[in-house]
Structure 1
């Protein structure tokens, strides 16, 4: 019984290592982002710990995100149009 548990533990460890190895760039980027946000929160808590900045961010990001998704589809399909900056301006 002990042998089964240790082999299962080893399998879980190897699986976790393979996942980390596969996604190490994304995990590193996430950790750096969290570190930068934590530094901002520590150095300027009156700004980054208030809810106002996050409400403002969430009210402006959806428009840009929707436009970016639409333009991504155009660019990926190869139907690039030189007028897309003008569309973004309106």
Structure 2
């Protein structure tokens, strides 16, 4: 019996971090290092490549499962200042 992948709309706060690079060492994929101590691959990374090391609040469809890495497809986001991460 296969375990289903869970998906739900969630709001996450965290910092955009690089997680993959191309052959020229340019960032090609980013993830969200969230305040819940988890890392979420940003499925629509291209929109967020310029936000590396910036804090954001993201709302999107989060997928996770036993054999699936956590991932988020961000539908909307807002930039935060660094102080917002420790609240």
Q: Same fold (TM over 0.5)?
A: no
Which structure: greater helix fraction? 1
Q: TM-score, structure 1 length as denominator?
A: 0.22
Q: TM-score, structure 2 length as denominator?
A: 0.23
Which structure: greater strand fraction? 2
